[in-house]
């Protein structure tokens, strides 16, 4: 029954989360790195201090971060913390908690990637449907090669090229960051416009690449659907071409696209880490980049955990399929 | 040779892909004769020169001759891609054959791991692995790190293809006429395996460049991704040092487009039904 299916799905979900958390915990410890000591030594060498007292400081910080307890205790506490989404303090920005850092960055990434994913899905699906439709205007065929080529390019490379063209050569758009330095974040038109102009280039580099992918897969599905008997039958009945296009072809061809959209939405946190890094966009990707630079293990772990967990929630979207496509049902036959 | 050319004429995607990849290989091979690869190390040239007679691709802030960097780095980046791609597809194909042979429980486990692994964002897992390794990576270690996840996707797609082949009519006919079952599947699978391999190489290169741009790559090696890392690190874009990122970007683009069109061309061989729609 439905319920049994949902329970099983949820069980798998928890299992993956636990596996990810465990991997997250043991992998860095296997390598025997000591992030606290490394950080302190780094600070000491920057400030030119003598290294006396480093040992005691390390011990004190380890006590505070709970790193002096036996491994199994640490693991138990860690699992408890994860369940409460508490990722401890950031080592590099000490008094700040990892959760705060991530909470600050999340809206930026979700806003940018959510919008661009939906936008490229919509544009790509319509374009692809028309490209697979024999009655579509001839000139549309010329769109194919550029779409293919764009599809093969990684987001961030296109980002680099766009930055050069539209921010350096023709200085139309800002080059870096999520908003202008000195702008006060708030809900007013001035700030929103500033934010939008900063998001335009990263968004463009994602949309241009992703649209190609959506269009290509949609076109493939269209071609297959149009070979189906019911489409031939509809033509033989003398239905209007526009009816055949929307009701007979589009509606059937878009189903796999919706599946792919669910998967793509699961990737929105990790999909454009590099785009954010290139544009210095203040989202999850940039936070991760800084954490890697500063060897801030807790921040890295927190981000990986959140990204995996949020990505997996798209499992839930499975449940809406029977409603989209009556042929699917989760009842045992 | 004539036959090959005639075939390429019928399959323009494959021809274009091969041409692009050949261009990259020729560029490296020919430049290698004129350039000292040692100049790819820092401090071997004046810093931040735009392209000129002496330094056709310019030099970077640490005094690397960028032409030498490209000549030394392109093969390194391709090597990471090919090592990881081969390990990924080899492991994937082996697992699929084991699963197809024993079926039942083992098949379920292998499919389960591949399915679950694919839902987890790969780049982040690679980041965790790379961060955990002590010290900086070498190019070969980099390839192994990337390969550690490179088998997931091939396993899933090859398995689907084997299952679909098993049910096809012509496979049945071939079996009735006395060919061995696994033999048929293997022969029929070859073009498909080739397409998967090219696809995996491309994915591995993308993953390695991703790790490198984030600063987790082999710091001493002049790979294309590390060059982009230094570009980003030194804010070359804002400072207007366009030649620094132009060369690696063009080469990476050419490699990706080449691999992509080769995959499209190979897909056409593996799956003749696509021809009708092209």
Q: Which residues contact B174 (CB under 8 A, 6 or more apart)?
A: B184
A23 at interface of B, judged by CB pairs closer than 8 A: yes
The average pLDDT across A318-322 equals 67
- ipTM field: 0.81
Say how many C-beta atoms besides its own lie within 10 A of residue A296's C-beta: 25
Higher pLDDT residue, B236 or A313? B236
Q: Are B223 and B212 in contact (CB under 8 A)?
A: yes
Percentage of chain A lying above the pLDDT 90 cut = 12
pLDDT at B204: 94
Say how many C-beta atoms besides its own lie within 10 A of residue B210's C-beta: 22
3-state helix, strand, coil in chain A (%, to 5): 75, 0, 25
Say if the Cβ atoms of A292 and B131 lie within 8 Å: yes
Instruction: Give A312's Cβ-side CA count (13 Å radius).
Output: 22
pLDDT at B6: 85
Residues of chain B with a CB closer than 8 angstroms to some CB in chain A: 116, 119-121, 123-125, 127-129, 131-134, 206, 209-210, 213-216, 228, 232, 237-238, 240, 242, 245, 249, 252-253, 256-257, 259-261, 264, 276-277
pLDDT in tens, chain B (278 residues): 788 888 888 888 899 999 999 999 999 999 999 888 888 888 888 888 899 988 999 999 988 999 999 999 999 999 999 999 999 999 999 998 888 777 778 888 888 888 778 877 788 888 888 887 767 788 999 999 999 989 999 998 888 888 887 777 777 787 788 777 677 777 878 888 898 999 999 999 999 999 999 888 888 889 999 999 999 888 888 888 989 999 999 999 999 999 999 998 888 887 776 654 44
Q: If residue B237 lies in a helix (H) or strand (E), which one and from where to where? A: helix B236-239
3-state helix, strand, coil in chain B (%, to 5): 80, 0, 20
pLDDT, one tens digit per residue, over A26-49 is 877 776 666 666 767 666 666 655
Closest residue by Cα to residue B94 from B77, B70, B110, B105? B110
Q: From CA B58, how far away is CA B245, in angstroms rounded?
A: 10
From the CA of B179, how many Å to the nearest CA of chain A? 32
Q: What is the DSSP string of A31-85?
A: TT--HHHHHHHHHHHHHT--STTHHHHHHHHHHHHTTTS-HHHHHHHHHHHHHTT
Task: Report DSSP state, residue B52.
Answer: -
A175 at interface of B, judged by CB pairs closer than 8 A: yes
Task: Report DSSP state, residue B50.
Answer: P
* Binding-face residues of A in 284-323 toward B, CB within 8 A: 288-289, 292-293, 295, 297, 300-301, 303-304, 307-308, 311-312, 315
pLDDT, one tens digit per residue, over A163-178 is 888 877 777 777 777 7
Contacts 24+ apart (CB under 8 A), B178-187: B182/B97, B182/B101
Say if the Cβ atoms of B121 and A308 lie within 8 Å: yes
B215 contacts on A by Cβ (under 8 Å): 289, 292-293
Distance of alpha carbon B168 from the chain centroid: 31
**Taking the alpha carbons of B47, B49, B53, B56 in that order, is the dihedral positive or negative?**
positive
B108 contacts on A by Cβ (under 8 Å): none
Task: Report DSSP state, residue B138.
Answer: P
Say if the Cβ atoms of B238 and A274 lie within 8 Å: no
pLDDT interval class at A7 (50, 70, 90): confident
Residue A111 has pLDDT above 70, yes or no: yes
Q: Are B204 and B88 in contact (CB under 8 A)?
A: yes
Q: From CA B212, how far away is CA B196, in angstroms rounded?
A: 24
Substitution target in B77, B123, B276 with the highest count of A β-carbons within 10 Å is: B123
The average pLDDT across A182-211 equals 84
pLDDT at B277: 46
pLDDT interval class at A333 (50, 70, 90): very low
Q: A77-81, A116-120, B60-64: which range is least confident on average?
A: A77-81
The average pLDDT across A58-71 equals 75
Residue A331 has pLDDT above 60, yes or no: no
From the CA of A20, how many Å to the nearest CA of chain B? 9
A308 contacts on B by Cβ (under 8 Å): 120-121, 124
Closest residue by Cα to residue A92 from A300, A322, A327? A300
């Amino acid at each position: 029954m439905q319920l049994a299916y949902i329970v099983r799905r949820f069980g798998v979900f928890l299992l993956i989360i636990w596996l990810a958390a465990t991997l997250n915990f043991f992998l860095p410890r296997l390598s025997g790195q000591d992030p606290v000591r490394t950080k302190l030594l780094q600070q000491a060498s920057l400030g030119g201090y003598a290294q006396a007292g480093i040992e005691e400081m390390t011990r004190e910080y380890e006590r505070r971060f709970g790193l002096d307890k036996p491994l199994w205790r640490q693991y138990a506490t860690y699992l408890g913390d994860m369940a409460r989404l508490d990722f401890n303090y950031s080592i590099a920005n000490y008094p700040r908690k990892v959760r705060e850092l991530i909470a600050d960055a999340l809206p930026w990434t979700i806003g940018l990637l959510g919008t661009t994913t939906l936008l490229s899905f919509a544009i790509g699906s319509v374009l692809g449907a028309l490209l697979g439709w024999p009655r579509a205007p001839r000139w549309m065929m010329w769109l194919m090669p550029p779409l293919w080529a764009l599809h093969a390019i990684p987001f961030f490379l296109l980002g680099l090229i766009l930055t050069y063209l539209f921010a350096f050569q023709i200085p139309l758009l800002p080059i870096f960051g999520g908003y202008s330095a000195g702008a006060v974040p708030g809900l007013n038109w001035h700030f929103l416009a500033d934010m939008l102009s900063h998001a335009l280039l990263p968004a463009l580099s994602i949309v241009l690449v992703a649209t190609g992918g959506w269009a290509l897969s949609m076109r493939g599905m269209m071609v297959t659907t149009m070979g189906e008997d019911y489409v031939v039958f509809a033509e033989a009945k003398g239905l209007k071409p526009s009816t055949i296009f929307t009701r007979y072809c589009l509606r059937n061809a878009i189903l796999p696209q919706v599946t792919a959209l669910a998967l793509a939405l699961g990737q929105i946190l990790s999909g454009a880490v590099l785009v954010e890094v290139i544009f210095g966009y203040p989202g999850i990707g940039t936070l991760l980049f800084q954490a890697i630079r500063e060897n801030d293990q807790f921040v890295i772990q927190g981000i990986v955990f959140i990204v995996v967990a949020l990505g997996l929630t798209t499992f839930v979207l499975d449940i809406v399929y029977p409603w989209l496509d009556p042929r699917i049902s989760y009842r045992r036959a | 040779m004539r036959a090959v050319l005639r075939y390429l004429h019928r399959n323009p995607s494959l021809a274009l892909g091969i041409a692009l990849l050949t261009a990259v290989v020729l560029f490296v091979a020919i430049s290698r004769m004129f350039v000292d690869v040692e100049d790819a190390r820092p401090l071997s040239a004046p810093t931040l020169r735009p392209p000129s007679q002496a330094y056709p691709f310019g030099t970077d802030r640490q005094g690397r001759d960028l032409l030498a960097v490209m000549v030394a780095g392109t093969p390194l980046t391709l090597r990471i891609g090919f090592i990881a791609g081969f390990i990924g597809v080899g492991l994937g194909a082996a697992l699929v054959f084991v699963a197809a042979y024993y079926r039942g429980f083992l098949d379920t486990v292998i499919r389960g791991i591949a399915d679950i692994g694919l839902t987890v964002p790969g780049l982040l897992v690679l980041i965790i692995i790379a961060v955990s390794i002590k010290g900086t990576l070498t190019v070969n270690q980099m390839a192994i790190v990337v390969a550690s996840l490179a088998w997931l996707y091939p396993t899933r797609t090859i398995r689907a293809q084997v299952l679909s082949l098993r049910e096809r009519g012509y496979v049945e006919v071939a079996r009735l006429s006395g060919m061995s079952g696994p033999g048929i599947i293997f022969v029929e699978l070859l073009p498909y395996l080739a397409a998967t391999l090219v696809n995996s190489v491309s994915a591995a290169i993308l993953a390695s460049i991703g790790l490198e741009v984030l600063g987790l790559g082999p710091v001493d090696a002049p790979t294309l991704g590390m060059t982009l890392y230094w570009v980003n690190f030194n804010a070359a874009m804002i400072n207007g040092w366009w030649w620094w990122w132009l060369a690696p970007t063009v080469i990476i683009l050419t490699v990706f487009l080449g691999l992509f069109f080769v995959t499209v061309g190979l897909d056409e061989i593996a799956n003749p039904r696509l021809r009708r729609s092209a």
